[in-house]
Structure 1
């Protein structure tokens, strides 16, 4: 669902509702003017939100009016990249598209990724498998393999795309394979592919409170450009 608020013929705010969150955006610095009509729309139509996210000041303005109990909140950093850094990658590693043969293991990995990221409550296993299969079908789910072996050691995906941007997420390496550079190498190679082949800008979100992932992405060349607030109800 998409809700847009107009003033004098111009859109001043919008809300895009997904199964898990409602994404807020404002095209004016008068956030109170932008969010009041959105809150009224949700209340009038008895639309119960599971959560919201957006730039911190905008979400805070929204919550001053919405006033629903918060169960969890996370500050996210939006990263983008201009130049890949010259870093050491895992030798003899190949980034390749996931296939239907990978579906069982990558379904488990996606579930574990969601647990690690605190994306709760979890969807039923069959829904997680369907989402994984959809990414495989759309050729947006990737795996890192070693020495020509098709057994993945790390995974990641392009979760959203526009004409100019590609959003990387689902970066996951199982615990027994961590601290070996697999995730760093996978993100580096996918970023390079998106830049050089698809000619798009890469962006990704990280939890501000997670120094390990933030350091990894910054070593690759990603830099934070904005802070977002994600709230669960």
Structure 2
């Protein structure tokens, strides 16, 4: 762990996700929907460490602490894919600017950053002022939380849990999901391909029973939906993918509705991300009862 002091605030860095969670517990619990990505990954990596799976030395966790000792912001750098973008939660503006100086001062190369606005924009703008280059928006996302579920018109078929035997199909459909999301948003196909989970991570999801197919009345899989295990009482839905030949039949709406219903029945708050450039998915989720919570962005630093 290391710490950097500024007027009224400290940036505390951790290499142990468990230590980070212990220090940041009140902050994360105060808004667990907005913090869902950080808490989900922190708990996942804690489990991996308990299993003896080492984490890369480049990983860090950040708690922004005010002069009363309260955590007022957080972030992490744990992405397993290049360029290893930090993910930042809301924090005071001066902390976002200070973080850019700290990472620059220790020669930590940052070519992208993801997370909550305006924090990521302030961070990236200050970093480019220090190192040169410009900030380019790679993707605008929006986090939504489900209120009262509105069930869509029913369609034939049912939701079934995917198993380890379905690994190859799940991986193919997940890769297609990432590519289609790029195309629908007007980006080159494959822009987000590096974010696809590794085989071991996909197996963990299958063993946890958190990936589902919607099968039609013949038993044929026609759609894939997933969800993360709840963290601080919040479960995040994703991926959500329907092959092109099966679209427009209501599979996605019914699958997401049923997944969401089951998660709420377990006592979880339910959320999901949408790409703001994809009007179709935004319309579907709004009709189910999902409401916007916070806007986020994936930013590239182009030199």
Q: TM-score band (shorter)?
A: 0.7 to 0.9
2:99 equivalent among 38, 48, 52: 38
Give 5+ residue unaligned stretches, structure 1: none
Give 5+ residue unaligned stretches, structure 2: 1-59, 183-189
Query: Quick one: structure 1 residues 142 and 47, their matched pair in 2 at CA, closer, same or farther if it must change by over 3 Å?
Result: farther
State whether residues 124 and 135 of structure 2, in contact with CA within 8 Å, keep that contact through their aligned partners in structure 1: no
2:260 equivalent among 176, 180, 191: 191
Could you tell me how far apart the structure 2 residues matched to 1:211 and 1:189 are?
22
The corresponding residue for 1:80 is 145
Length-normalised TM-score, structure 1: 0.87
Offset at residue 121 of structure 1 (A): 5.5
- RMSD value, Cα: 2.3
2:74 aligned with 1:14, yes or no? yes
Could you tell me how far apart the structure 2 residues matched to 1:160 and 1:104 are?
22
**Structure 1 runs, 4 residues or longer, greater than 6 Å off:** none
Query: Quick one: structure 1 residues 54 and 69, their matched pair in 2 at CA, closer, same or farther if it must change by over 3 Å?
Result: same
2:251 aligned with 1:182, yes or no? yes
2:102 aligned with 1:52, yes or no? no
Could you tell me how far apart the structure 1 residues matched to 2:215 and 2:102 are?
49
Could you tell me how far apart the structure 1 residues matched to 2:289 and 2:64 are?
37
1:78-157 aligned at under 5 Å gives the runs 78-91=143-156, 93-118=157-182, 120=191, 122-123=193-194, 128-147=198-217, 149=219, 151-157=220-226
1:215 equivalent among 273, 276, 283: 283
Aligned residues: 226
Could you tell me how far apart the structure 2 residues matched to 1:175 and 1:216 are?
16
1:62 equivalent among 105, 123, 134: 123
Between Structure 1 and Structure 2, which shows a larger proportion of strand residues? 1
The corresponding residue for 1:3 is 62
Offset at residue 95 of structure 1 (A): 1.2
Length-normalised TM-score, structure 2: 0.68
1:161 equivalent among 230, 248, 255: 230
Q: Secondary structure at the match of 2:209?
A: coil
